Chains A and B, each alone.
Chain A
Amino acid sequence: MQTHTSTTAARPGDQPVVEALDLCIDYRIGKEWLNAINGVTLKIDPLEIHGLVGESGSGKSTLALAMMNYMASNARISSGQVNLDGVDLVPKPATEMRHIWGRDISLVPQDALASLNPAYTIRDQIGEVMQQHMGYSQAEAYAHAVEMLTRVRIADPEQVARNYPHELSGGMQQRVMIAMALSTQPRLLVLDEPTTALDVTTQAVILDLFRDLIHDNRAAALYVSHDLGTVAQLCDRVTVLYAGEIMESAPVHDLYAKPLHPYTAGLLNSLPRKQQGTNTRLYTIRGVAPSLQERPPACVFADRCPVVLDKCRAEKPPLEATPDGRKVRCWRWQEIARDELDLLPEPERIPEVTQKARHEVLEAAHVSKAFGNADLLDRLLGRAQPPLQAVDNVSMRIQSRWTLGLVGESGSGKTTLARTIVALIKADSGELELYDEPIALDLTQRPQEVLREIQMVFQNPNDALNPYQSIGQTLRRTITQLSKERLSELALIQRVEDLLLAVRLPADYADRYPTEISGGEKQRVAIARAFAANPSLVVADEPTSSLDVSVQAVILNLLKDLRAREGSSYLLISHDLDVVAYLADEIAVMYLGEIVEIGSSDAVYNAPSHPYTEALISAIPEPDPTARDVTIRLQGDVPSARNLPQGCRFHTRCPRKIGAICEQEAPPLRDAGDGHLIRCHIPIDELIELQQQPPQATLDDEKLITPEDGD
């Protein structure tokens, strides 16, 4: 559409678009400057999508913004260069960078909603860039904004252009950010965790979009992520950052096939994978990432390395180039390359749970919950909207020492269902039974005994702990409030200590406050709190989704150990199917308030599956660059639960829709054997046959997605 910037054609092919040379960045903490990025050299060629992987605190976002010569107010580039098309940006003041930002470099940030101004329409915000750099009039800018929205495959771009950011779904907001970033045909696109806040189904579609648009635009891209799966799916080269230094940099296939750095190997090994089986522990990287103040002077990874030598603590290893064009910073990479070091110990087995006779811990029958019933004035004015049916007539049971995983996109009702069981939300109707005894739906009517038996672990450990109470006080309070027997002071101290040890924290953590410990440690405290009163059922709502990969492995192992030791059951909610598959014995898949499939972990993962489950599994980005096959893409967003689709609720997005029956009749719950139930019109045998290959309709699908009808 627009002509490429004239410089593109004249450039010799081998010059990188952007290049950081020996870049050092400091942060001001109090009165002193602390080093955050230490001597990073990184180049990105035209058309290359370069992955930058690291855990929180590694400095990856700082580095990504530095590639745009954009610094937080308390950060500075202390030395080094950032060359864009051979010109160093670092000496340029902001007044000069203004003509480069938005025109030659643009950013797609993590949180699209917060990154859009709430007070302006979409076309105002996209158009602004072109008015700034291309001298467009407002009318031209608006027209071009609509064109850009079409390019990011938004159906009805005219309408979306007039919308405000909050009126769009998360996936749509992220498309708008992409449209904005690409509107001036920049040379370099910086993508900072652009899909982290999205559902896997939306993420899969957005990743496709990146791949196509970056290549169409002949741009170079820096893709920053903590997610090894999406990096494998999208990137050409990958750089692994740890504690502000490059550990390893390699073409994506080489890196995943044969990591040369122990840290990279550790990250890849700590991912939960379906094949692992439920009785093995995940590999974990010991210790935690160092803060800026406590980074080791020699090898920054030495304290956590499984193959550390004395030399590693004495002398910093150089970033060495290998003969096949990779770079690695490790004294022992040659031994690793020759397979002389064992980086992956045989997975430890979790002691088998002594199988007593199973009994039912919790049974939920016909639970429903709706939100937003219209008030009197609404009805008088004829504006009553139908209520939002979050959970609709759901039944399920959880057995002792059993984990039921609950999966589904946001808006599926999985969190609402979990909260009605804990009674944080009062269900409108339905029955709950604990050990075959009916329990109240209302929290205030539940006796202490019941409260003790059902405990919850929340998604964000930072918000779940009272910042004004020490860890010890938090645990004590739960014990004294809920424990059956009165404990002496000494017994209390002992119990707190036991709980901390059970979650593998040192006993002296009892005196610490939540602000003094890391996110992963906070989640361990939250888990210890849930187990403080020996509950029968622990409801865990996305317990690892705010944590880093290496910390996630620690928490998942812990949850497994505790189940074996304490004999509790879990209701595990997660959008991450790999996490669920690793931990759950049984999986329930929810869509628009209904369970569409339930069965043992294996049964749900393999055919026959509900078409929705099939799509969810297909959307998981595998941490394996060789598995970039075309898979099933669900178009559009989950419809509003205020206006549930007629017939099968999934028919509006179903890639395997068979006809009018899907739109008219609610599908039957079919039994695929062994309690494996699928809510679909397609008979079980046909599903098995169909699912030998992906549905035809979605191959090379250019279907446009429609804006959400507001929920």
Chain B
Amino acid sequence: MVRFLIRRTILLLLTLWVSSVIIFGLTQLLPGDIALLVKGRDASEAVIQEFRETHGLDQPPVTQYITWLGGFVTGDWGRSYLDSSEVRPNVLRRLGNSLQLAGLTLLIAVPLSIGLGIIAAVRQDSWVDGAVSIFSLAVVGLPEFVTGIVFLTIFAPDAGWPGWFRDNLLPALTATLVLLGYIARMTRAGVVEELRKPYVRTARLKGLSTREVLFKHVLRNALLPTITVIAISVGWLIGGLVVIENVFNYQGLGLQLVLAVQRKNMPILLAISMIIVFFFAISNLIADVLYAMLNPRIRLG
């Protein structure tokens, strides 16, 4: 276990570093001059020059990268190109919002979709199974802006719904609908596969009830692939909810990231990218540890 954590922490840091290089490199390839873009084409040569010097844009790319990296690891995430405000508190506030939304979504989506998946698997090939499949596929197919707008229309602001309901719960429900199909279908597949295994017969022939067989024996093994799907969706929930944040005017990281890309606001772009990569990697690490805890055959190492 210790060995595994050491190895994975090294890998995590390596992943963060490689992605920072890739992201930095890509931003260098973006067309257009940053100073011109930020200050406008009409800005005087002196203003442009001063902007470049303040933000170190007159240095060669490698120096720029090293300066940024040095600052980032010591907690100085730079200043916004637009209003020179400090990047860190700004981004961390947005991260807080995003984490809140992600947490709420997972809280709703995970039990709901796993439950649906289990019901579908146990009643395999019955009408219940069909209904769950059709429902989950249907909502997966719907784009988030459609479900989001439908929600907003149904729960219109003037109908007296409390603020948190519209501001927090509706975006979470919209994201839930996206995840529901994936997690439910993965759970169903996992449970169906496990139910076919000989140890289920052993458990039944011990005289255990169907409920005991399912909850004690099957689920522990069946949910392993589901955990992976959930872990992957955590990254998406942190930084990928652009459309949902837009529809509900939610102050999350996704929206901020898109704005930063549009404006070539490099310090913010880099900071958010690093955060997203970090959460992706860390949720996968947690998934692997959970895997090993649920399944003793997997030796971490």
Contacts and interface: CB of A to CB of B under 8 A. Distances in A.
A106 interface: yes
Contacts of B209: 95, 98
Contact of A117 (B2, B6, B210, B217): B217
Nearest to A381: B3
A129 B296 contact: no
A82 to B, nearest CB: 15
A16 interface: no
A93 B200 CA distance: 18
Interface in A99-146: 99-103, 105-107, 109, 111, 114-120, 128-129, 132-133
Nearest to A124: B216
Contact of A98 (B198, B201, B208): B208
Contact of A133 (B199, B205, B207, B221): B207
Interface in B20-37: none
B197 interface: yes
A133 B207 CA distance: 8
B53 to A, nearest CB: 46
A114 B197 contact: yes
A272 to B, nearest CB: 31
A107 B297 contact: no
Interface string A42-84: 0000000000000000000000000010100000000000000
Contacts of A381: 2-3, 6
A377 B10 CA distance: 11
A31 interface: no
Interface string A245-269: 0000000000000000000000000
B199 A132 contact: no
B79 interface: no
A119 B291 CA distance: 11
B59 interface: no
A383 interface: yes
A100 B7 CA distance: 50
Interface size class of A (residues with CB under 8 A): 20 to 34
B280 to A, nearest CB: 23
Contacts of B39: none
Contact of A132 (B6, B197, B206): B206
Contacts of B294: 119
Contact of A118 (B208, B210, B296): B296
A119 B290 CA distance: 13
A95 B202 CA distance: 16
B297 A101 contact: no
Interface of B: 2-3, 6-7, 197-199, 201-210, 217, 220-221, 294-297
Interface of A: 68, 70, 94-95, 97-103, 105-107, 109, 111, 114-120, 128-129, 132-133, 164, 166, 180, 377-378, 381, 383
29 contacts: A70-B204, A94-B204, A95-B209, A97-B207, A101-B205, A102-B207, A103-B207, A107-B202, A109-B198, A115-B198, A115-B199, A115-B202, A116-B199, A117-B220, A118-B199, A118-B295, A118-B297, A119-B220, A119-B294, A119-B295, A120-B217, A129-B206, A129-B207, A132-B206, A132-B208, A180-B202, A377-B6, A378-B3, A383-B3
4 nearest A-B pairs in the assembled complex, by CB-CB distance? A102-B207, A102-B206, A115-B198, A164-B296
